[in-house]
Chain A
Amino acid sequence: MNRPAPRLGRAAALLAAVPVLVLSACGSSSSTGSAGSGSSSTTAANESAKGPYTFLYSGDFTGPTQTYTQAEVAGLKIAASEINAKGGILGRQINIVTDNDQNDPTTAVNLLEQKISSGTKIDAMYPGGSSEVTQALLPITTRNKILTVDATSDPALNNPSKFPYHFGDSESVAQTIPPFVKLAQSKGWKKVAIIYGNDTTGQAVQSGYTDALKKVGISTVTAAYQDSSLDMTPQLSSLQAAHPDALIISSYGVPSIYVIKSRAQMGWFSTPAYGDLITSAMPLAKIVPPASLKNYFAQASVTTLASNPDATRDPALQQMISDAKAMGYSAQLSGVGAGLLAVGFNVLQLIHYAAVQANSTDGPTVAKALEHLKQPSGPYPPWVVYYGKYGGFNYTTSNHFPTVNVANFAYVPPGTNNADGLLVPGTGS
């Protein structure tokens, strides 16, 4: 009865919370946010004649990743209600439909095929919360010319020639690594230990860190655990025996608690431990005793830090937060944080924005518009996190993933989210 493990998609979902610096090229774009305002009334009429804009979310609603699924869906629903209140996408009201694929590729494909065959016209979809599911779904969505946007960050999916209608709205694992490399260099570390979950994400993290650190002359020792592990003392012991200067923890979900607990039980506090962004998804400070988090630092995205003034200034983010509270998603906000809601939120805001530019809701046409997206001119776009000086969705015909800057990350003492879903380091149980 083992369920599919959380995989790359989840990591990506978290990474979506990462702020992106706008590249100067994008920032200098002279286009306006209302690029699509020239739409002729006939187009709008044609579009609205198509009926509601159906958006399908395929994800795991019952397994270990359900908390994150719920947060993403909450984000989607918030965006949908905002867009619908303003008349929908080119006059089409957004209708969100969900499938519980339980992170199983075969089930996900079945459910999608069922929808397509039964005549449900899907305008766009979020193709799964795990890269396995996305891998399995993309051939079908591509064949059916369905626009897909999700947080799955498996580089193999960034393949516009094969999947022309698929876009990532978050960055790959690789982008979270440079900040650590910089830190390691500044501290003069020679050897770094990595403990990771033995799944797709963990393997990507492990090889990413190992390669990046090797380039700057830092060696690594690594140990992996299985999803089903209840105690990581053996793995940590083997790492400790190598006397590393620092420990990277890349752990997803419940096992991250066991890693912290094992480390505490071993009393291995002398070596600083750094949880990567994936590990930070678990509100550790809420669950484990503070004493066990000694000398532990969590990688956090700056935009979701309560102390970042931009977080309070961004009207889109503030709107999203207040909508979330109004729509009954306060628990999600304080639970997993605003960053994860933003993953779903951004998908629809981005599609809306591109559809207006394309003056069409046709999948391939919107995809084309996304590849040549005219960036908004104001300081804050309709989406959150990837905005202004932080970044933007600057897709091209050869790259369907955004890029991220090193300065977007900080290592902070673990903390909890405040009522707005923004992280306050150093707080906890």
Chain B
Amino acid sequence: MSPARLARPLVLVGLILIVVFLPWLGLNDYWDRQVILIVILSLIVSGLNTSLGYAGELAVSQVALYAVGAYVAGYLSVAHNVDDIAVCLLAAMAAVVVVGLASGIPGLRLGGWSLAMVSFFLVLLIPSVLDLLRAETGGAEGLPGIPVPKLAGLELDGRDFYVFAVLVAALWFLVLRNIIRSPHGNAFLVLKQSPILAASLGIAVYRLKLFAYVVGAIPAGVAGVLFAFLSGYISPSSFSLGFAFTVLTASIVGGSQSVYGAIFGAAVLQLGPERIASFQSYSLIIFGAFLVVAGLVFSEGAAGLVRMLSRRIAPRLAERTATWTGGRRSGPAPSPVGGPGVSSLPPLDGRPLRVTGATKVFGGLTALDDVSLEASPGQVTALIGPNGSGKTTLLNLISGFYRPSGGTVHLGDTRLDGLTPYRTARAGVARTFQTPLIPAGMTTRTFVTTGRYASGRPAIPAAVLRTPGYRRKVAGDEADASELLDLLGIGSQADTEVVSLPLGTRRLAELARCLAARPGLFLFDEVGSGLDEADLHRLEGAIDLIRRAGGTVVLVEHNFPLVLKLADRIHVLANGALLASGTPAEIQSDPRVLEEYTGAPSATETIADLERAAAGPEGEGR
């Protein structure tokens, strides 16, 4: 471990200690309270971030969950004299998890828009629900007389409460950080970029979103308990849509995707408006202007601002590093280490794919009509055909994104048809996309490790506690990813942000990601399109490697020469039906194929014409 990596936790602990001891370093009661309020707001914001920033789901329900936490603590301490803050925290967490599940399940099942709306209504309902429970909550009048909390019999007054609040928040941020900086956090990033990519990696999209949403409920509930005991009095006006907006603004200002951005955003939104309040009757106008400016300046969050600045500096550093290691920074890298003929890939457990009578009807349109084909391990099976012939439909059908209207799909002995995409992925299907789906905010190496999510991921408690087993697993994944990248000749890009890679390198990175999964079946969707000669060459090498290692490869491709070069068997699709099947040589001489491709009835057309047609704008541009 490098000294820098060792120093980091120490700096964090130091910072926490400084904040904890601030009252003894001259912090007065007012600032004491401000820090606690910032802590409370940052907890809520951080809860919002787990769903908005990581799972990509906009939801303002954190305010409702915050209210639940506050009222659980208020009710327990006022009505039942339970003033032990630990008990209240546990009860509040249990309550918010229940409410989180109850609101998250319908909201998330139906997609993002629904969750935002459900959560909006949830906040809207707070006063009504509190009023309906007037006996327990005091209704509109509020709940006064919340006592000073105790912890194991000790009164937490003034500074004790301050220390407690700061430590609770620190603990939460530590837990969150450990989840975010783990394969699960990477899964969040993938999810945010594209639920489709996530599913194809074996991530149970709905379950992960629900997990993020429910995990995000916990800090909101904790914040509610802290707030109830801090203020000693709670009323519905503290849990308004206006406050929901404050939380959202703080999240965006701090950067929804940053763990610690929440603290910055909370501080800005806690301290800013209060300063503005001194402008009396002009304060609304000034607060509005403050929001406009904040929105413009922090459109990608403070964390985004920092990232952007560092991105401007980072390339220069990377350039220097690259010179030292003798590698080139970008553009076509040298010929792959494991190029054609030099297979250094350990054997792959490729499994045979059998598609029988696959049919897919969209509305009244038959996109795929009774297609049967097989793909064997150690072979490259190519699917070709003009646009709209059903190639991608078939691919989506195999990978579970479409449910077949008829027919079956088997991988080895496993029946795939009817499985959801993430289950298909876990059954051993890895795929690429016509337009590579590349998540933001991760390095190429990390991107490749996401391929292993389907085959094995550490348990969340292990990630939180950073157990030795967890560390081993992550280190193993990373080493494997580095190896694969080296093998494909893009090892020098391992530490580059994957979104900054050029298209050709992206495709190779996607290939490496598929390889990391060690799948039974590789589905490559037009991996060759848009690549230049050098990139194509490396791609051919890589696919050849997989074939030699015994992988089952299905290749959907426009680039006819590439297909001819790589494929062991070719299936030609036209208008959703199988037109022809055979070896490259057989296909090359099949008059029906020529006719379909060129529109010419005779076989007088040469292969060269066919190649030109296939490599034309249509083949390349997409």
Binding site for B on A (CB under 8 A): 1-5, 7, 61-62, 66, 98-107, 109-111, 113-114, 116-118, 131-132, 135-136, 139, 154, 156, 198-200, 203
Contacts and interface: CB of A to CB of B under 8 A. Distances in A.
Nearest to A98: B280
A132 B33 contact: no
B82 interface: no
Contact of A4 (B29, B237, B280): B237
A116 B142 CA distance: 25
Contacts of A101: 277
A128 to B, nearest CB: 12
Contacts of B31: 117
B277 A111 contact: yes
Interface string B128-152: 0001000000011110100000000
Contact of B237 (A111, A132, A154): A132
B29 A135 contact: no
B283 interface: yes
B201 interface: no
B33 A113 contact: yes
A110 B37 contact: yes
B235 A3 contact: no
B231 A105 contact: yes
B140 A199 contact: yes
28 contacts: A1-B245, A61-B283, A62-B280, A62-B281, A62-B284, A66-B281, A100-B281, A100-B283, A101-B277, A102-B277, A104-B237, A105-B235, A105-B238, A106-B231, A110-B34, A110-B37, A111-B274, A113-B30, A114-B274, A117-B31, A118-B30, A132-B235, A132-B237, A135-B144, A136-B232, A139-B232, A198-B140, A200-B139
Interface residues of B, number: 32
A107 B273 CA distance: 9
B233 interface: yes
A253 to B, nearest CB: 16
B241 A113 contact: no
B268 to A, nearest CB: 15
Given A111-B274, A111-B277, A131-B141, A1 B241 contact: yes
B28 interface: yes
B193 interface: no
Contact of B233 (A66, A103, A105): A105
A252 B487 CA distance: 75
Nearest to B282: A62
A101 B280 CA distance: 9
Contacts of A106: 37, 231, 238
Interface in B268-297: 273-274, 277-281, 283-284
B77 to A, nearest CB: 15
Nearest to A111: B277
B242 interface: yes
Given A1-B245, A99-B277, A118-B30, 10 more contacts: A62-B280, A100-B279, A107-B277, A110-B37, A114-B274, A116-B29, A131-B141, A132-B142, A136-B232, A198-B131
A93 B29 CA distance: 28
Contacts of B144: 135, 156
A107 to B, nearest CB: 7
B240 interface: yes
A98 B284 CA distance: 16
Contacts, number: 93
A201 to B, nearest CB: 9
Contacts of A1: 241-242, 245
Interface in B432-477: none
Nearest to A139: B232
Given A1-B242, A135-B144, A203-B139, A110 B33 contact: yes
Main secondary structure of the interface of B (DSSP, over half): helix
Given A2-B241, A100-B280, A109-B231, A154 B141 contact: yes
Contact of B281 (A3, A61, A200): A61
Contacts of A100: 277-281, 283
Contacts of A109: 33, 231
Contacts of A200: 139-142
B280 A116 contact: no
Contacts of B278: 100
Interface string B150-168: 0000000000000000000
A116 B280 CA distance: 19
B274 A135 contact: no
Nearest to B143: A135
B242 A136 contact: no
Interface in B200-251: 231-233, 235, 237-238, 240-242, 245
A110 B275 CA distance: 11
B274 A107 contact: yes
Contacts of A198: 131, 140
Nearest to A117: B30
A415 B280 CA distance: 32
Nearest to A113: B30
B142 A135 contact: yes
B123 to A, nearest CB: 10
B154 to A, nearest CB: 20
Contact of A2 (B131, B139, B240): B240
Contacts of B141: 131, 154, 156, 200, 203
Nearest to A63: B284
A118 to B, nearest CB: 7
B238 A203 contact: no
A114 B242 CA distance: 23
Interface in B312-355: none
Given A106-B231, A135-B142, A136-B231, A117 B29 contact: yes
A103 B237 CA distance: 9
B233 A135 contact: yes
Nearest to A203: B140
A117 B283 CA distance: 22
Contacts of A114: 30, 274
A399 to B, nearest CB: 19
